[in-house]
Chains A and B, each alone.
Chain A
């Protein structure tokens, strides 16, 4: 035990906060992420994280909570992308890229003003890469409520969303408002990205969104199982990342330890690579993981 968990790991308050926030945001990201990957909107999801960066740096300027900035900018960005034509498959990347470029430009301005006007140091780094250990425990209720709202939204529009993700033509033939569903989904995407920006920093929140979902979708063709796999993977990667980052402070007394987000992303990336190996895929679609998933589903 001592080898795995450095002293004070379980009794430390920042670690407890990190576990709760990390776990909750990982689940939301994984669920929203499965739809993001199925809809082929990874770029939009990533662009929203950069738009959230703009909001985060703007919130420092205005002196409001970063969470408000992250989510507010994300929602505005989602609206702008929708306006610029993100709903059409052709030219979608372009519309996303334009909004992304403009938003990053604004972020450059805000960060510049942040660093020149105020004496606070480390703002750039904190907004971009975040630190889950410095999250204020008071934000837990907000994060949990927003997560529940996001999941409820997804649950509420599950069938129309799924149908329009798989075939827009079929969905509109069935009377689904494809445009409205797409806009609503962009909104949930913006909220979930804002949440994970608080946890692991806006730059790396794409990893939690896309990584577990893409890995899960490689392991199973069954969508319901994919949700379960993605959630489990996301939560495990996040918690393991927190543990390793905490431990890394003890690895080398002279160094400062490595950031949580580094470990989370590395775990997520390795999982994606491994899931691409033919052996793993064949193995997964057969027995062991399928059985494990059944156990998780029952539990």
Chain B
């Protein structure tokens, strides 16, 4: 389980979980679940397009996820954010469908773009993942106070002269960046589940932002490691385990919050 090609898988999974835990905490806090779903999913089309014209899929992913982030951010100012996100995602997926219909590549490649191929990570893929991951985490740390303030206390943020749409745009770009690094190795699905489940659970366990942020990273790591091990043993896709484990974490967090509420009421 820890030999040869699996070493790369463990390394990449750890980096991805760390980044997803950090970025995902703010995804949950800001209610950007739809955007976090749309950007990686739509970016898949970019990889399909890059394959078609024969350039590095990473470039296609980068261009498409960045275009999605900027497009959603820009169009959201004039239309409803959820509608804009849905339509932007559809447009990118439609392009993806067109690219796939023109290419002659066979099915497993499409499948791995959507659902990841963490067990086939090569050493040359490690460096870009690590660098982009570091950039994402660094960006979140720089934006930390601003992200927190515009999500929790928009009035105070406005009084301090923060422009919420700029912060939102910057955050969408961070999502795009983390998408670019993770989709080729783990697929569009895995990254979304990781950005939602663990942070949501962590927030149920603690209401302090710093503790919840650390908890989010911790839970994401445990989820990914458990998923990887299960996938190795059963040979089923990693994405399946990540999706299910994330949902389980969410349910556990909900149950914990519920129990605490019930007990609190009794004590009063």
Contacts and interface: CB of A to CB of B under 8 A. Distances in A.
Interface in B58-117: 75, 78-80, 82-83, 85-87, 89-91, 93-95, 97-98, 100-102, 106-108, 110-111, 114-115
Contacts of A266: 91, 94
A214 B242 CA distance: 34
Interface of A, secondary structure class, is helix
Contacts of A104: 189, 192-193, 239, 243
B90 A102 contact: no
A210 B193 CA distance: 24
Contacts of B236: 109, 112
A69 B87 CA distance: 25
Interface residues of B, number: 53
B259 interface: no
Contacts, number: 179
A60 interface: no
B82 A42 contact: yes
Contacts of B128: none
Contacts of A85: 254
A207 B90 contact: yes
Contacts of B34: 42-43, 46, 93, 96-97
B31 interface: yes
A265 B107 contact: no
A70 interface: no
Interface of A: 37, 40, 42-43, 45-46, 84-85, 93-94, 96-106, 108-109, 111-112, 115, 121-125, 128-129, 201, 203-204, 206-207, 210-211, 214, 218, 255-259, 261-262, 264-266, 268-269, 272, 276
9 contacts: A42-B83, A93-B31, A94-B33, A99-B247, A105-B189, A124-B111, A129-B97, A204-B97, A207-B91
Interface of B: 28, 31-34, 36-37, 75, 78-80, 82-83, 85-87, 89-91, 93-95, 97-98, 100-102, 106-108, 110-111, 114-115, 187, 189, 192-193, 196-197, 200, 236-237, 239-244, 246-247, 250, 254
